[in-house]
Amino acid sequence: MVELVLFFLMAAGALAGALTVIFAKNPIHAAMGLFGTLFSLAVMYVVNLAHLMAAVQVIVYAGAVMTLFLFVIMLIGVDKTEDMSEQLPFQRKLVIGLAVIIVGLGGGLAFGGRLAWTPLSKPDGLFPNGTIQAIAERLFTGWVLAFEVTALLLTIAAAGAIALAQFRRREVEE
């Protein structure tokens, strides 16, 4: 029961946020929409017993990544509103057509009886919670290679960003 209510609430929130992202004129509004989606999803993670993930989502995604986004928005100074008219020919029409097809497909699949909606098991005791210990156990035994590789990836990304920044600065200084 709880899960049902939570699901509908959070779904609504996520959808609202998503639609804000794509329809807002002001980029700051779009960023706020994304925040909303992220928080709704974090709650859903908790409901699915992915506690660590929910926390990480809020701290890293909503906390760091979105903050970075906001910084860049303000840095670039694109807090002015964007013109929503379409410059490219056929683009709008094509997109609307594609949207209709996808929604039709999805709806047909979901409500057309082709999918099996097996219920989930009760969320107590029969499968592990997503606690720090449990995740760590999985992470450092089965997935340790991926872990190391992503650590390398982060390092490279950081280095790349610094390189881009330096490049810029040198140009400006000339």
Partner 1 sequence: MIVTAGWYMTLAAVLFTVGLLGILVRRNALIMFMCVELMLNAVNLTFVAAGRANSTLDGQVAVFFVLVVAAAEVVVGLAIIVAIFRNRSTASVDELAELRG
Partner 2 sequence: MIDSIWLVMAFPLAGTVLLHFLGKRIGEPIAGWIASAAIGGSFVVALIAAVPFIRGDGATGHVMLWNWMPALGASFEIEWDPLAALMTLVVSGVGTLIHIYSVGYMHGDERFSRFFTYLNLFAFSMLTLVLAGNFAMLFMGWELVGLCSYLLISFWYTKPSAAAAGKKAFIVNRIGDFGFVIALMMVFTTFGTLSYSGVFDRAGDLLTEGAATAIGLLLLVGAAGKSAQVPLYVWLPDAMEGPTPVSALIHAATMVTAGVYVVARTSAIFELAPAASLTVATVGAITALWAATIALAQNDIKRVLAYSTISQLGYMFLGVGLTAYVAGVFHLMTHAFFKALLFLAAGSVIHGMSGEQDMLKMGGLRKHMPVTALTMGIATLAISGVPPFAGFWSKDEILAVAFEAGGYATVLWFLGVLTAMLTAFYMTRQFVLVFMGKSRWEEGVHPHESPRVMTIPLMVLALLSIGAGFVNTPFFGNGLEHFLEPSFEFATLAHPSGGFPMFFLLAGISVIAGVGGIVMAYLAYNRPRELWERFQEGFGKAWTAWAEAYRVDDFYGKVLVGPGKAAAEAAAFKLDLPIVDGAVNGIARVVRSVGSGTRTVQTGFVRNYGVTFVIGLVAMLIWIVVRGA
By the criterion CB under 8 A, which residues form the site for partner 2?
A: 88, 91, 94-95, 98, 101-102, 105, 108-109, 114
Residue number, 22 or 174, with CB nearest to partner 1:
22
Residue 118, both tokens: 């097996």
- Residue 138 interacting entry, from partner 1, partner 2, none, C-beta within 5 to 8 Å by type: partner 1
Q: List the single partner that 114 binds among partner 1, partner 2, none, CB under 5 to 8 Å by kind.
A: partner 2
CA angle 5, 45, 41 (to 5 degrees): 75
From the list partner 2, partner 1, none, partner contacted by residue 68 (C-beta under 5 to 8 A by kind)? partner 1
Structure tokens at 120: 């989930």
Q: What part of residues 34-93 is at the interface with partner 1 (CB under 8 A)?
A: 34, 37-38, 41, 44-45, 48-50, 52-53, 56-57, 60-61, 64-65, 68-69, 72-73, 75-76, 78, 82-83, 87-88, 91-92
**Distance, CA of 14 to CA of 20 (rounded, Å):** 10
165, exposed or middle or buried, with CB in 10 Å at 0-12, 13-18, 19+?
A: exposed
**Structure tokens belonging to residue 10:** 């959070």
Binders of partner 1 among residues 113 to 132 (CB under 8 A) are 115-121, 126-128, 130
Nearer to partner 2, 101 or 161 (CB): 101
Contact 18, 41 (CB under 8 A): no
